[in-house]
Chains A and B, each alone.
Chain A
Amino acid sequence: MSYIICKDVTLGYEGKAISHHVNFTVNAGDYLCVVGENGVGKSTLVKTILNLRKPLGGEIIRGDGIKEYEIGYLPQQTMVQRDFPASVWEVVLSGCLNRCGWRPFYTSGEKAICEENLVRMQIEDLKNRCYRELSGGQQQRVLLARALCAAQKILLLDEPVAGLDPRVTVEMYELIQKLNQEGITIIMVSHDIHAAVRYATHILHMDNQPLFFGKTEDYVNSSIYQSFMGKETLPEGGSRE
């Protein structure tokens, strides 16, 4: 059974459809990258997978022990967070909140999980630092640690490298790859098609309807990828393959 099956889903909001016939499946251990231009419903897809929004049509089936809220989410940064006085520890610990239910405070077990994920993201020495004073890359690690506290099997990353400088971007991708190799399923939304074909095992290329869904190898050979890369003016555009 797959973790997530998306069956002929129509995406959109306030009754306006932006994207039709979205079909894909995510299996355990996959690294799915969702690419496509702005405004084709990538972020709506994210919100729909996370259950923040109902699909306008079709259905999303969660299987294999993935409950409704067991997807770790790495959101894009918001305005509020930029000047928010919170320590790294407080932010990461808030990822454990969905384990609490009605219980008002965290248990020592939850704090241990939090500690563990700080080590995993190599940010244990930042524990008492203020979140807003960290560099962009460090902030993303903090948010990743928080997502890992909330879910162990599957992560959904929304533009995880937006605004990071090139060196940190590579580090971030390698970190995500490492998590994937440790057995965590990854769904990543990205603009960066080069990184997508390099790291992901599966690609979903969206336009107003999905142009492609399948393995990365097949995607690289497809006409969609070829024509998309042809459009790019970047000098290294074709040289990656």
Chain B
Amino acid sequence: MNEMMETLSFYFSYPFVRYALIVGVLISLCASLLGVTLVLKRFSYIGDGLSHVAFGVMAVAGVLGLSDNMMLVLPVTVAAAVLMLQGGQKTKMNGDAVIAMISVTSLAVGYFLMNVFSTSSNISGDVCSTLFGSTSILTLKMKDVWLCIILAVIVLAVYVIFYNKIFAITFDENFARATGIRAGLYNFVTAVIIAVIIVLAMNLVGSLLISALVVFPALSSMQIFKNFRSVVVCSGVLSVCCALTGILLSILASTPVGATIVLADFVVFLICCLIGKILGGAKSC
């Protein structure tokens, strides 16, 4: 135990570890809040789809030799998010099919470009680290941390201000529209926020594991709580706890960061299932 604390305080003396913790907590908090809405609206897989888009765009940025690939990745991902959330309802294809299609296409494009126009000697290493999250969370610079903090504050503020609207639209979009709520606008805002979070989260867990950040906290808290506010609050808390535990464990045991966080989320989900079963029909509002 003592030894563990020593190791931890040793690591904490490095700023990059502190940065990683801050960024990890913020991203997982934002992802979990929106996750509740996405899971309830049957868009659980949008995180996956969007992250594949971001992967594809990153490859393009790499080929074009852009130094700051955020400038390209963020707008394109936002556009894809809007397309997936809104276009899916109107066309003849179902939302899930649209997501699947866009997601595999961009994955293919990304891998294709990385292979053909590669500048690095270790392609599979590059691909692997983009897909499964890399040590890039541990190489964050001050600039990235600030960017992340600012975006997270904006996301949280928007979420709190629009909380009631988000609830109404998630629960019953037609009713909301019929009573004059501008559902289109709020859907658009949600899509933009989701895209931003996904792009940020790619650093943390990589594009294949992003869905976990979005889906697990929401699912876990829905096992226990039965009103919307408690579910949202609980999933935020769970998500932050899992991210902290995951990052600390990965430092102590030198395991991959992303995978450790996701496994922590999964364990918490199992525990919540159990609690939900024990509470059973008992009222827990």
Contacts and interface: CB of A to CB of B under 8 A. Distances in A.
Contact of B179 (A89, A98, A128): A98
A51 B226 contact: no
Nearest to A98: B179
Contacts of B229: 90
Contacts, number: 95
Interface stretch (A79-87, A182-190, A203-211): A79-87
A85 B174 contact: no
Contacts of A93: 164
A92 B126 CA distance: 51
Contacts of B41: 80
A175 interface: no
Contacts of B226: 85, 87, 130, 132-133
B143 interface: no
A104 B162 contact: yes
B222 A80 contact: no
A79 B180 CA distance: 22
Contacts of B40: 80, 84
B164 A105 contact: yes
A73 B178 contact: yes
Given A80-B40, A84-B40, A97 B165 contact: yes
Nearest to B168: A94
A90 B163 contact: no
Interface in A60-96: 68-69, 71-73, 75, 78-81, 84-87, 89-91, 93-95
Contacts of B69: none
Interface of A: 50-52, 68-69, 71-73, 75, 78-81, 84-87, 89-91, 93-95, 97-98, 100, 104-106, 128-130, 132-133, 146-147, 150-151
